[in-house]
Structure 1
Amino acid sequence: MAFLLETLFGGLMTGMLYALVALGFVLIFKASGVFNFAQGAMVLVAALAMARFSEWIPKWLGMEPGLWGNVLAFILAAILMWLIAVLIERLVLRYLVNQEATSLLMATIGISYFLDGMGQILFGSSVYSINVGMPKDPVFILGEMFEGGILINLEDLSSAVVAALLVALLAMFFQYTSTGRALRAVADDHQAAQSIGIPLNRIWVVVWTVAGLVALVAGIIWGSKFGVQFTLSTAALRALPVVILGGLTSVPGAIVGGLIIGVGEKLSEVYLGPYVGGGIEIWFAYILALVFLLFRPQGLFGEKIIDRV
């Protein structure tokens, strides 16, 4: 029983990280109605910025690496993500207003390659580390209930708590703020939103900035655990089954989908891996997503679209 609980806890914590990455997809889709293939590149650039700024700032200011260096690095990285959002709106999105979704999709693919190249030019292509002070040592809990207790990784727990808080803040932002309601209106119909006075260009800057901040937090967490390298951009691919399960338009769906995928991967790795061979945790989520596409393509919380003719 203790081993099962360890596996479940590990899956839930990993699932929160998947949900955090998936949020970037959901945010962009809710505001523009297009799937953002650049989200992985945004996570990479944000993580590179945090890693390099936290290394450079203490040298520039003649201070010891530590809390204040990380705070300043986070602020500079957030400003960079805002600048990227502004440039994307000014140079790309404003010329694609009311265009076909395919055009916007291809634009995000181009943005992805551009961000990958810009990341190498600005920050280099080596492997970098991020140290924001998250505890690394595992601990045992519930020792009085189970012999030997349950092993919990404090870094995973801290990451899951941060991800959960950010998800809760974004859910409230979309539900209870005028900007959040405007984002939903823009996603439903660009022309109708513009006709009632919603500034489409400003809304897109806001949503790409928020998605950039989400990518920054996700990049810090993934970079702290595994290091910052260019394969980090493929981490977004691990979130694709999450948005398929939860629904492309649902913030709560990203949470639930992430938890299902995280737990499913861990359980399949531990209990099915010995029978079907190694690597099941890599493809399990995609098989589950395929089943959902066949029987419930809108996902658990997505909106079912009915066309009347």
Structure 2
Amino acid sequence: MGFFLETLFGGLMAGMLYALIALGFVLIYKASGVFNFAQGAMVLFAALAMARFSGWYPLWFHFESRLLANLLGFVTAAALMVAVAWLVERLCLSRLVNQDGITLLMATLGIAYFLDGLGQTLFGNDIYKIDVGMPKEPLLVLQGTFDGGVLISQEDLVAALVAATLVALLALFFQKTATGRALRAVADDHQAAQSIGIPLDRIWVIVWSVAGIVALVAGIIWGSKLGVQFSLSLVALKALPVVILGGLTSIPGAILGGLIIGVGEKLSEIYLGPMLGGGIEIWFAYVLALVFLLVRPQGLFGEKIIDRV
């Protein structure tokens, strides 16, 4: 039972990180109605900026405080992601208002390749370290309840708590603020939103900025665990099954989808892997997403679209 709980907790914590990345996809889709293929590149670009600036500032200004370096690096990386959001709106999205969804989709692909190349140009292509002081030692709990106790990664626990806090704040932002309601209106119909005075350009800058900050937090967490390298953008691919499972327009769906996939892939790898030859954790999420596409393509919480003619 103790080993099962270890696996379950590990899956839940991994699921929260998947949900955090999936939020970036949901945010962009809710504001523009298009799937943002640049989200993985945004995670990588933001993590590279954080890693490099937090390393450069002590050299430039001759101080040794890691906390100050990380704080300055985070603020600079966040400002850079806001600048990217403004440039994306000004140079790309503002010229594609009311265009077909496939046009915006191809635009996000172009943005992804641009950010990948810009990241290499500005920050290099080595493996960089992000050290934000997350505890690395495992934590042993419930020793009196289960023989040998339950081993929990403190780093994963802290990361899951940070992700859960950010998810909750974003859910409140969308549901309780005027800007959040405006974002939902823009997602439903660009022309109708403009006709009632909602500034489309400002809304898109806001949502891409928020998605950039989410990408930065996700990049810091994954960069702390794995190091900042260009394979980090592939981590975002795990968020694709999450949004398919939970629904492209639902923040609660992103949370539940992330938890289901995180737990499912861990349990299946441990208990089904020996019978099926292992490697289940790699493909489990995509097979589950395929099943949902066949059975319920709008996801658990997605809105079913009905076209009347």
- TM-score tier, shorter chain, comes to over 0.9
Say if 1:54 and 1:65, in contact at 8 Å, map to a contact too.
no
Q: What is the aligned residue count?
A: 309
- CA-to-partner distance for each residue in 1:113-139, whole Å, 9 max, x for gaps? 000000000000000000000000001
Q: Shift of the alpha carbon at 1:72? A: 0.7
Query: In the alignment, is residue 179 of structure 1 matched against residue 166 of structure 2?
Result: no
Matched AA of 1:88: V
SS in 2 for 1:249: coil
RMSD across aligned C-alpha pairs, in angstroms?
A: 0.5
- CA-to-partner distance for each residue in 1:158-214, whole Å, 9 max, x for gaps? 000000000000000000000000000000000000000000000000000000000
Q: Shift of the alpha carbon at 1:279? A: 1.1
Matched AA of 1:190: H
Please name the residue that 1:208 is paired with. Answer: 208
Please name the residue that 1:301 is paired with. Answer: 301
Matched AA of 1:31: A
Query: In the alignment, is residue 52 of structure 1 matched against residue 63 of structure 2?
Result: no
Q: Shift of the alpha carbon at 1:308? A: 1.4
Please name the residue that 1:197 is paired with. Answer: 197
Normalising by structure 2, we get a TM-score of: 0.99
Please name the residue that 2:166 is paired with. Answer: 166
Please name the residue that 1:284 is paired with. Answer: 284
Matched AA of 1:64: E
The whole-number CA distance in structure 2 between the counterparts of 1:234 and 1:2 is: 32
Please name the residue that 1:77 is paired with. Answer: 77
Normalising by structure 1, we get a TM-score of: 0.99
Please name the residue that 1:115 is paired with. Answer: 115
Report the more deviating stretch, 210-219 or 58-67: 58-67
The whole-number CA distance in structure 1 between the counterparts of 2:182 and 2:277 is: 49
Report the more deviating stretch, 276-285 or 95-104: 276-285
The gaps in structure 2 that reach 5 residues or longer are none
Runs of 4+ aligned structure 1 residues displaced above 6 Å come to none
Report the more deviating stretch, 26-35 or 227-236: 227-236
The whole-number CA distance in structure 2 between the counterparts of 1:46 and 1:60 is: 20
Please name the residue that 1:134 is paired with. Answer: 134
The whole-number CA distance in structure 2 between the counterparts of 1:235 and 1:108 is: 18
Matched AA of 2:255: I
The whole-number CA distance in structure 2 between the counterparts of 1:239 and 1:13 is: 14
The whole-number CA distance in structure 2 between the counterparts of 1:65 and 1:105 is: 43
Please name the residue that 2:36 is paired with. Answer: 36
Please name the residue that 2:156 is paired with. Answer: 156
The gaps in structure 1 that reach 5 residues or longer are none
Say if 1:46 and 1:216, in contact at 8 Å, map to a contact too.
yes
Q: 1:124 to 1:65 in 2, by over 3 A?
A: farther
Say if 1:55 and 1:65, in contact at 8 Å, map to a contact too.
no
Please name the residue that 2:93 is paired with. Answer: 93
Q: Shift of the alpha carbon at 1:278? A: 2.0
Q: Shift of the alpha carbon at 1:144? A: 1.2
